């Protein structure tokens, strides 16, 4: 009897899961001009704007994804690297499930500054619970002028995936968010989502996105 009941519950759980949208908040951090906004624009709209305007303060984008049959609402927070917004960006981090650290492969200084960003943010969030990836952007520009071994060493030390990407040429951009979700799900095991094996990042059709938005509107 007990077993039957459990089976029913499992089915019900699956059905419920179909209706669920898992919301994750993630933030992109790094110096001005490294390409944070461009990476988000590429990921969310598959566009690249050569003359993108500077982000002021904090901006957000929402992207709906299917990952491992789960509907995910990814809230992507874009920050400005300007000095006056640094504390704002830092204070936003304690609400996040994931952080993308971005530097510019053609400007050494931007990688050095990642270390400062990380140290500051580490004071307010626990990276054992929060996902993180390191991104070297603008891989289309040559030469890179940066010692890749040192970056790898740093990423290993901080247990972050290191992704070399280009928003301009659309290289490894999806990978950034896929790897981050992977890390978030691993770290949230036993909390929000249990035993999730994350596979390739999928995309929802427009119709599916609209259906999710409609459902969300009904329930809020």
Q: Residue numbers of the site for Mg ion (CB under 5 A)?
A: 37, 55
Q: Binding partner of residue 140 among ligand GDP, Mg ion, none, CB under 5 to 8 Å per kind? A: ligand GDP
Q: Binding partner of residue 167 among ligand GDP, Mg ion, none, CB under 5 to 8 Å per kind? A: ligand GDP
Distant-in-sequence, close-in-space partners of 10: CB < 8 Å, separation ≥ 6: none
- CB of 34 or CB of 133, closer to ligand GDP: 34
The pair of three-digit structure tokens given for residue 158, joined into one six-digit string: 């901080």
3-state SS, one letter per residue, for 153-193: HHHHHCCCEEEECECCCCECHHHHHHHHHHHHHHHCCCCCC
Shortest Cβ 80–ligand GDP spacing (Å): 7
Distant-in-sequence, close-in-space partners of 180: CB < 8 Å, separation ≥ 6: 26, 98, 100, 131, 132, 133, 161
Shortest Cβ 97–ligand GDP spacing (Å): 21
Q: Binding partner of residue 34 among ligand GDP, Mg ion, none, CB under 5 to 8 Å per kind? A: ligand GDP
Peptide bond into 10 cis (omega under 30): no
Q: Binding partner of residue 136 among Mg ion, ligand GDP, none, CB under 5 to 8 Å per kind? A: none
Shortest Cβ 36–Mg ion spacing (Å): 5
- Rounded to the nearest angstrom, the gap between the alpha carbon of residue 169 and the centroid of all alpha carbons in its chain is 19
How many Å apart are CA 37 and CA 177, to the nearest integer? 14
- Sites of contact with ligand GDP (CB under 6 A): 32-38, 50, 52, 54-55, 81, 137-138, 140-141, 166-168
- CB of 90 or CB of 138, closer to ligand GDP: 138
Shortest Cβ 130–Mg ion spacing (Å): 22
Nearest-CB residue to ligand GDP? Answer: 35
- CB of 37 or CB of 97, closer to Mg ion: 37
The SS3 assignment for 2 reads helix
Q: Binding partner of residue 98 among ligand GDP, Mg ion, none, CB under 5 to 8 Å per kind? A: none
- CB of 97 or CB of 137, closer to Mg ion: 137
Shortest Cβ 111–ligand GDP spacing (Å): 14
The SS3 assignment for 47 reads coil
| DSSP letters for 67-129 | ETTEEEEEEEEEE--SHHHHHHHHHHGGG-SEEEEEEETT-HHHHHHHHHHHHHHHTTS-TTT
């Amino acid at each position: 009897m007990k077993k039957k009941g459990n089976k029913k519950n499992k089915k019900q759980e699956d059905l419920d899961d179909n209706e669920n949208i898992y919301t994750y908040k993630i933030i992109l951090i790094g110096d001005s001009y490294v390409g944070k906004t461009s990476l988000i624009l590429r990921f969310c709209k598959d566009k690249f704007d050569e003359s993108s305007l500077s982000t002021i303060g904090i901006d957000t984008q929402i992207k709906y994804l299917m990952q491992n049959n789960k509907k995910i609402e990814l809230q992507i927070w874009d920050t400005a690297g300007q000095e006056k917004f640094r504390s704002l960006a830092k204070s936003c981090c304690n609400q996040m499930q994931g952080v993308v650290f971005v530097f510019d492969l053609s400007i050494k200084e931007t990688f050095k500054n990642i270390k400062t960003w990380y140290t500051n943010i580490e004071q307010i969030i626990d990276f054992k619970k929060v996902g993180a990836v390191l991104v070297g952007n603008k891989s289309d520009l040559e030469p890179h002028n940066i010692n890749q071994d040192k970056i790898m060493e740093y990423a290993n030390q901080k247990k972050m995936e290191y992704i070399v990407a280009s928003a301009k040429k659309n290289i490894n951009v999806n990978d950034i968010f896929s790897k981050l979700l992977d890390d978030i799900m691993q770290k949230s095991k036993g909390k929000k989502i249990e035993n999730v094996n994350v596979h390739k990042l999928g995309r929802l059709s427009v119709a599916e996105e609209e259906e999710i938005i409609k459902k969300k509107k009904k329930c809020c």
